[in-house]
Chain A
Amino acid sequence: MATFRLQGTRVLAVDLAGDAVKAKKGAMVAYDGEMTFKKMTGGGEGLRGLVTRRITGEAMAVMEVKGHGTCWFADRATEINLVGLTGDKLHVEASNLLVTEPSLRTGTTFTGLRGASQGNGLFTTTVEGTGQAAIMSDGPAIVLRVTAGTPLVVDPGAYVAHTGNLRQQLRSSVGLRTLIGEGSGESFQIHFEGEGLVYVQPSERNTVGGQI
């Protein structure tokens, strides 16, 4: 059983006892003990996964880290957040996924227009099962709860991930005033409804909708 420990907020230590984790390729910064690093083509999801990821553009360069000892992971000093899953599904952009336990299955799913407005493509990565996943954010992620009575609106550029049973809908308020240069800068928004948690980062990626 791999155990995940955060050392500070930007380095993740994973203790391995003969088992393996899936990690973003090149994210290992140090290890002790015996480790092997194996490239996993197509996100380690087999031939079908390989083809799907090629077609969808949700490319995920993943390696399998296996061995005995401790392995430390970090990526460009971005903040790392641990997400514990007990049978539910995490939606996250492939570029924000750092390490997953072997008990978790990863896959791709269609997100519709939301992805396009984020500049992340039309597809997103899903992580399913029971275990821990480490996701990255620019600045520490803020976890916001969505319930039936409290829907949430998120800027596409600040969205990182979500769990639970959520419906998401991209809304735009592009109108005549946008065209004459009087945009509100918040024309594209993702509305979340249902029950679940949304992870947002205190920063915005450059998005197509950002200046509109």
Chain B
Amino acid sequence: MTHPEGPVVHDPYTLPANDNVNPYAFCVDLDGQWFLQKGKMIAYYGQVDFHAIGHGPLDHLVAANFHSPLHASAWVVAQGRGKMLLADRAYDINSYDLDDGNLTIRSGNLLAFQPGLALKQSIIPGFLTLIGTGKFVAASNGAVHFVEPPIRVDPQALVGWADCPSPCHHYDHAYMRGILGGIRALTGIGGASGEEHQFEFTGAGQVLLQSTEELMAAADTGGVPGSAGPGVPGAGLG
């Protein structure tokens, strides 16, 4: 028995349904299937099976909702009934609802999504795009901030973006100018403040930023299969 002033004790009935338990853990009220990144489940009540994405009983589900061969080994399908807790290295966890929308997110930040959404590999290497209607769960290093374009953001602080056109690189003019800039351009050697390169967003939509510039570790999934052919960004890297 614990003291009455002890911590909050959760059981399957008091755990939230599809909501955060605290800023670092999310509880899925599972009745059917969810896609999960491997190893992000910390505990569950009820009957849940984990199926690898590949040949298996969930082939048609995977065919309809999962379109990224490079990420297949990092994802599983949780199937069953119960309350399931998700967390990732004690980072901040948030859930988002998409209503017939699209959102692109850094691949290491996405934890889980409902099958109403389809996961596709973005043409920006290292990013994934979710299309459809449903809930997804993402981690960020520090709280997430929503900003609207036009905006330039630090590459490391970028978590993802929704609805707006994909970003382009932006280099400060001073970075390319003058003798030092010429040397830098020719040799790749030179000083830098670390802030002369940004991602630039235009159009209507929302950009998601995290409050640090520390990237979350993620499997290197920058490329697309080498056989993709000419004109495919990132082809041959993966």
User: Does B174 lie at the interface of the complex (its beta carbon under 8 Å from any beta carbon of A)?
Assistant: no
* A75 CB-CB contact with B under 8 Å: no
B50 and A185 form a contact (CB under 8 A): yes
Q: Are B39 and A186 in touch, CB under 8 angstroms?
A: yes
Q: Does B101 contact A (CB under 8 A)?
A: no
Q: Give how many A-B residue pairs fall within 8 Å (CB-CB).
A: 127
Contact digits for B45-68, partner A, Cβ 8 Å, 1 yes 0 no = 100101111111000000000000
A-side contacts of B45, CB under 8 Å: 144, 150-153
Of A11-19, A47-55, A80-88, the one with at least 4 CB within 8 A of chain B: A80-88
Q: Is the CB of B11 within 8 A of A184?
A: no
What are the residues of chain B within 8 A of A154 when measuring CB–CB? Answer: 42-43
Q: How far is the CA of A152 from the CA of B43 in the complex (A)?
A: 7
For the complex, give the distance between the alpha carbons of A141 and B43 in Å: 12
Q: Counting CB contacts under 8 A, is A210 at the interface?
A: yes
CB pair B50 A84 closer than 8 Å: no
Please report the total number of B residues contacting A with Cβ < 8 Å. 38
Residues 142 to 182 of chain A near chain B (Cβ within 8 Å): 142-145, 147, 150-155, 157-158, 163, 173, 177, 181-182
Docked pose: A158 CA to B87 CA in angstroms = 9
Cα distance A82–B88 in the bound complex, in angstroms: 23
A186 touches B41 (CB 8 A): yes
Q: Does B175 contact A (CB under 8 A)?
A: no
- Least CB distance from A41 to B in Å reads 31
Beta-carbon contact of B41 and A155 below 8 Å = yes
Judge whether B173 is part of the interface by a CB distance below 8 angstroms: no
Q: Please state if B42 and A186 are interface contacts (CB–CB under 8 Å).
A: no
On chain B, the residues within 8 Å of A86 by CB distance are 1-3
Choose the segment among A32-40, A102-110, A118-126, A199-207 that binds chain B (4+ C-beta atoms closer than 8 Å). A199-207
CB <8 Å contact, A142 and B38: no
Contact in complex: B10, A142 (CB < 8 Å): yes
Q: Which of B2, B12, B38 contacts A184 (CB 8 A)?
A: B38
Q: Is B25 an interface residue (CB 8 A)?
A: yes
**A177 pairs with B52, CB closer than 8 A:** yes
Query: In the complex, A40→B22 CA distance in Å?
Result: 37
Q: How far is the CB of A16 from chain B (nearest CB, A)?
A: 20
Contact B39 A83 (CB under 8 A): no
Cβ–Cβ contact B42 & A202, under 8 A: yes
Distance, CA A116 to CA B6, complexed state (A) = 30
Q: Which residues of A contact B25 (CB under 8 A)?
A: 139, 142, 202
Contact at A138–B41, with CB atoms within 8 Å?
no
Task: Name the A residues within 8 Å of B87 (CB-CB).
Answer: 139, 158, 201-204
Which chain A residues have a beta carbon within 8 Å of chain B's beta carbons? 81-88, 132, 138-145, 147, 150-155, 157-158, 163, 173, 177, 181-186, 197-198, 200-204, 210-211
> Can you list 11 pairs linking A and B with CB atoms under 8 Å apart?
A86-B2, A139-B87, A142-B43, A143-B6, A143-B7, A144-B11, A153-B48, A155-B43, A158-B42, A198-B43, A203-B90
